[in-house]
Amino acid sequence: MQEQLKIALIQTDLVWENPKKNRKQLKEKIESISKTVDVIILPEMFSTGFTMNAKEVAETMDGKTVAWMKKRALKTNAAIVGSLIISEGETYYNRLLFVEPSGDIQVYDKRHTFTLAGEDKVFTAGSKKLIVEFKGWKICPLVCYDLRFPVWARNIEDYDVLLYVANWPKPRIFAWDSLLKARAIENMCYCIGINRVGLDEAQNEFCGHSATFDVLGNEIIAFKPNREQVGVVTLEKNHINYYRNKLKFLNDKDNFTLLP
pTM of the entire predicted model:
0.97
* Pure H helices in 32-116: 54-57, 64-76
Query: In CATH, what is the architecture of 4-252?
Result: 4-Layer Sandwich (3.60)
**Annotated catalytic, 110?**
yes
From 17, 44, 100, 119, active-site residue: 44
Full strand arrangement of the beta sheet holding 190-195: 132-134, 137-143, 161-166, 190-195, 211-213, 219-222
Residues 6+ apart with CB under 8 A from 195: 11, 43, 166, 167, 168, 176, 206, 207, 208, 209, 210
Residues 6+ apart with CB under 8 A from 90: none
pLDDT tens-digit map of 7-61: 999 999 999 999 999 999 999 999 999 999 999 999 999 999 999 999 999 999 9
**Annotated catalytic, 140?**
no
Cα–Cα distance measured from residue 157 to residue 141, given in angstroms and rounded to the nearest whole number: 13
Burial class (CB in 10 A: 0-12, 13-18, 19+), 52: middle
**Local confidence band at 260 (pLDDT 50, 70, 90 cut-offs):** confident
From 17, 59, 100, 110, active-site residue: 110
**Annotated catalytic, 88?**
no
From 70, 119, 129, 144, active-site residue: 144
